[in-house]
């Protein structure tokens, strides 16, 4: 007879405790213990509690491999969900075994968890562990199936709109997230409804009136944006440090279909230089929205909506500002496609820039935000990070007509490459290595390197050779599935379908973590700052793009969204820019899945590095008129949640 000491920890979430009967079985190399009920006591299984008890095991079961927990109904009480954090077992000779559960147990039956050491399957892996891993994967594959959202677009989870409540509790929105989501929705929704904005289908009669709505809620930056949105330097700075900082490219040659010529931009560039020289000097940049060409649009408030596919040329001036110098609103040049210039009338130039900002909104939301962070996060980790794309407010994006979103997503998929997703390559491929004041790049690279170093420590701890990477069947199956379901086996994306070395594994994992955390923060957190002043990013446009110059203020107001559409846009950006109450920051892993010392040490080093980066960013921002805080690690979420 041997006595094992057991500690069972219940989660601290307010709904984590249970009234059920809980049973435990220890599984070792040489056999299993008997089934023991964990003694019932009023203080056991309360949220945050750790229950301690001993069990007697009749025979020698050898090295412990698994713990099996079973839940059964207590008397006539309903079976309620229980969140088990961990089970620690000390054997008779004093050796501690840690079993990190960190999961909801929701139905009768058993849940098995292996000891916390990371194990890569090899020829010598114990058959009991092989059996447990196979069973776990089979169950997951049964629960989570892939579904075609639209032809040519990354696959998503096979679930109905309300199906989140049918998922295992581990993957439903947390209670806190539901509460905060609802609170944000209601507080903002009621505020605006009371003011009558949501029921007003009129157009705005002057820009100042829009402030009546935009000042209902303000962030530190949103008020400033409403003051400086017309300024060319601010318009340009948003390509570097706004919510869509990875579209702009260095331009070496003006595209054939862009009718801008030297004399048009002479007054912007000044007498000491010209367009050709500035192209050669690497001071000219291009934002091209070709992806929006001929996307179908719908009607809102009974009015047809419109979309443009502009090109915008920008110049890094001697003051190191990035300023727009020419805008063409269509991909097809011709006499009805004027090139708009800063030297045009105030309203012509403002209307052209507003059209570009509207295109920014569309491309940012659908391609950069929805596809490249939300969809990818779902693909990367269907079983862990749950943000249902089908239920996400982004799906209700405004301007697109039938088939518009799938078509845009399909085009965006074609442009999505491994290069784009890996920040260092992304910066180089767009020629953005040296442009000054590109804080997305500067902060992003610091975080990329910190993640890479963390991943490198962990990977090198578990994998000691490239062969181990190549011959890890579970890892290779994961990578192959992402390539198949997420990138539709598109080899031109250069996304790996298998990994052949430790170095390639480090890069791949860094990309996955960066995409789901920092990249999402960069394109998500500033949405309220950017868009709450509607003219800086209209959600939709209700006049066609101008085909001649001569615009008036009235034309601009007729083009901008109606009052109620503006209010809906404001509610949307308010919700998506607010953290859920259960936010976890990058580098914080409250679920201690790693039980070994070395990985725990790596996590600590990663956290220290992030703290240092955060300190540096906060210091720098104190001195800036337009601070950039979206990539401050202290506000980056660990995953894509909203
Ligand atoms: Fe988001």
DSSP per-residue string spanning 496-553: -SS--SHHHHHHHHHHHHHIIIIIHHHHHTTHHHHHSSGGGS-S-BSSPPPSSS---H
**Residue 184's pLDDT is what?**
53
Instruction: Spell out the long-range contacts of 235-238 with Cβ–Cβ below 8 A and sequence spacing 24 or more.
Output: 235/323, 235/324, 235/353, 235/356, 235/357, 236/314, 236/321, 236/322, 236/323, 236/324, 237/321, 237/322, 237/437, 237/626, 238/360, 238/530
Q: Give the Cα separation of 621 and 612 in Å (integer).
A: 14
**What is the mean predicted confidence (pLDDT) over 118-142?**
81
577: CA distance to ligand 1 center in Å?
8
**Residue 588's pLDDT is what?**
83
CA-based radius of gyration for the chain: 28
127: CA distance to ligand 1 center in Å?
42
Question: Residue 164 pLDDT more than 70?
Answer: no
**Residue 284's pLDDT is what?**
98
520: CA distance to ligand 1 center in Å?
6
Q: Give the Cα separation of 585 and 502 in Å (integer).
A: 27
Query: Residues 108-121: pLDDT tens digits?
Result: 778 888 888 777 77
Percentage of residues of the chain with pLDDT beyond 90: 54
Question: Residue 194 pLDDT more than 80?
Answer: no
8: CA distance to ligand 1 center in Å?
36
521: CA distance to ligand 1 center in Å?
8
Question: Residue 139 pLDDT more than 80?
Answer: no
**Residue 161's pLDDT is what?**
52
642: CA distance to ligand 1 center in Å?
4
**Residue 67's pLDDT is what?**
93
**Residue 452's pLDDT is what?**
97
**What is the mean predicted confidence (pLDDT) over 269-289?**
97
**Residue 175's pLDDT is what?**
41
198: CA distance to ligand 1 center in Å?
24
pTM over 0.75? The answer is yes
Query: Residues 540-550: pLDDT tens digits?
Result: 999 999 999 99
**DSSP one-letter string for 552-614:** -HHHHHHHSPPHHHHHHHHHHHHHHHSPPTT--BTT---S----SHHHHHHHHHHHHHHHHHH
**Residue 550's pLDDT is what?**
97
Question: Residue 142 pLDDT more than 80?
Answer: no
CA angle 16, 112, 129 (to 5 degrees): 150
Q: What does pLDDT average to over the chain?
A: 86
What confidence tier does 390 reach under pLDDT thresholds 50, 70, 90?
A: very low
576: CA distance to ligand 1 center in Å?
6
What confidence tier does 214 reach under pLDDT thresholds 50, 70, 90?
A: confident
617: CA distance to ligand 1 center in Å?
22
90: CA distance to ligand 1 center in Å?
43
| Bridge partner residues of 628 (DSSP) | none
Cβ atoms of 448 and 514 within 8 Å: the answer is yes
370: CA distance to ligand 1 center in Å?
7
**Residue 149's pLDDT is what?**
78
174: CA distance to ligand 1 center in Å?
17
Tokens of residue 526, six digits = 């500033």
146: CA distance to ligand 1 center in Å?
21
**Residue 543's pLDDT is what?**
95
Q: How many other C-beta atoms lie within 10 A of the C-beta of residue 338?
A: 22
């Amino acid at each position: 007879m041997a006595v094992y000491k057991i500690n069972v920890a219940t989660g601290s979430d307010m709904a984590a405790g249970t009234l059920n009967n809980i049973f435990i079985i220890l599984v070792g190399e040489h056999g299993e213990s008997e089934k023991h009920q964990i003694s019932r006591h009023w203080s056991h299984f309360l949220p945050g509690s750790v229950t301690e008890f001993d069990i007697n095991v009749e025979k020698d079961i050898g090295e412990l491999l698994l713990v099996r927990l079973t839940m059964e109904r207590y008397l006539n009480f309903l079976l309620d969900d229980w969140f088990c954090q961990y089970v620690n077992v000390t054997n008779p000779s004093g050796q501690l075994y840690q079993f990190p559960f960190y999961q909801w147990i929701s139905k009768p039956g058993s849940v098995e968890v292996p000891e916390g050491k990371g194990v890569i399957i090899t020829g010598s892996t114990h058959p009991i562990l092989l059996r447990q891993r196979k069973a776990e994967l089979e169950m997951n594959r049964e629960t989570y199936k892939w579904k075609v959202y639209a032809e040519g677009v990354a696959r998503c989870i096979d679930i109905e709109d309300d199906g989140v409540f049918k998922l295992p509790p581990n993957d439903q929105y947390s209670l806190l997230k539901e509460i905060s989501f609802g609170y944000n929705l209601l507080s903002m929704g009621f505020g605006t409804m009371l003011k009558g904005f949501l029921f007003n289908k009129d157009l705005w009669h002057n820009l100042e009136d829009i402030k009546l709505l935009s000042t209902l809620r303000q962030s530190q930056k949103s008020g400033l944006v409403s003051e400086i949105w017309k300024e060319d330097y601010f318009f340009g700075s948003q390509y570097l440090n706004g919510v869509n900082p990875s579209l702009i490219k260095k331009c070496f040659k003006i595209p054939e279909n862009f009718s801008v010529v030297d004399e048009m931009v002479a007054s912007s560039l000044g007498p000491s230089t010209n367009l050709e020289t500035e192209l050669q000097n690497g001071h000219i940049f291009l934002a091209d929205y070709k992806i929006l060409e001929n996307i179908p649009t719908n009607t809102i408030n009974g009015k047809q909506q419109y979309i443009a596919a502009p090109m915008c040329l920008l110049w890094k001036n001697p003051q190191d500002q990035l300023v727009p110098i020419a805008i063409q609103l269509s991909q097809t040049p011709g006499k009805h496609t004027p090139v708009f210039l800063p030297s045009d009338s105030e309203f012509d130039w403002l209307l052209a820039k507003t059209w570009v900002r509207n295109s920014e909104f569309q491309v940012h939301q659908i391609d950069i935000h929805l596809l490249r962070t939300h969809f990818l996060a779902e693909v990367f980790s269907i079983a862990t990070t749950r943000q249902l794309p089908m239920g996400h407010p982004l799906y209700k994006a405004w301007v697109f007509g039938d088939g518009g979103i799938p078509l845009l997503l399909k085009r965006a998929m074609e442009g999505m490459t491994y290069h784009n997703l890996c920040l260092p390559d992304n910066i180089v491929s767009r020629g953005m290595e040296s442009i000054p004041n590109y804080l997305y790049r500067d902060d992003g690279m610091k975080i990329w390197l910190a993640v890479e170093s963390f991943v490198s420590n962990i990977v090198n701890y578990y994998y000691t050779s490239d062969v181990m990477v190549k011959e890890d069947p579970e890892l290779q199956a994961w990578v192959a599935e992402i390539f198949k379901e997420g990138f539709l086996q598109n080899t031109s994306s250069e996304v790996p379908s298998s990994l052949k070395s430790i170095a390639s594994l480090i890069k791949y994992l860094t990309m996955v973590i960066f995409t789901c955390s920092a990249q999402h923060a960069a394109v998500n957190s500033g949405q309220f700052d950017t868009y709450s002043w509607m003219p800086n990013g209209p959600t939709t446009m209700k006049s066609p793009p101008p085909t001649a110059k001569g615009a008036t203020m009235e034309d601009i107001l007729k083009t901008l969204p109606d009052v109620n559409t503006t209010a809906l846009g404001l509610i949307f950006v308010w919700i998506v820019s607010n953290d859920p109450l259960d936010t976890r920051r990058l580098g914080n892993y409250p679920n201690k899945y790693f039980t070994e010392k070395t990985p725990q040490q790596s996590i600590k080093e990663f956290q220290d590095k992030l703290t240092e980066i955060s300190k540096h960013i906060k210091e720098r921002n104190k001195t800036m008129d337009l601070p950039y805080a979206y990539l401050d690690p202290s506000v980056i979420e660990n995953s894509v949640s909203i």
